[in-house]
Amino acid sequence: MSRRSSVGPGLFRLEGHFERAETVILLRRNENGALLTGRRYHWINEFPFNR
């Protein structure tokens, strides 16, 4: 069984089991925006993604 909850503003907590171990993950919102698109980074695929 997994649980999720909001810990506070910009924080999110996930609890559950992963490979038979108790796991807790804390996520923090990044207010600076997306780093890859903010630095003009563009991924180039050898083959089209949508085909």
**What pLDDT digit, counting tens, does each position of 5-24 carry?**
888 888 999 999 999 999 99
51/45: higher pLDDT:
45
Q: Which of 14, 10, 46, 6 is nearest to 31 (CA)?
A: 10
Please report the pLDDT score of residue 16 as a whole number.
Answer: 93
Q: What is the pLDDT of residues 22-34, one digit of tens each?
A: 999 999 887 776 6
Average pLDDT score over the chain: 79
Greatest Cα pair distance in the chain = 42
Q: Which amino acid is at 28?
A: R
Q: Which of 6, 28, 4 is nearest to 16 (CA)?
A: 4
Please report the pLDDT score of residue 49 as a whole number.
Answer: 63
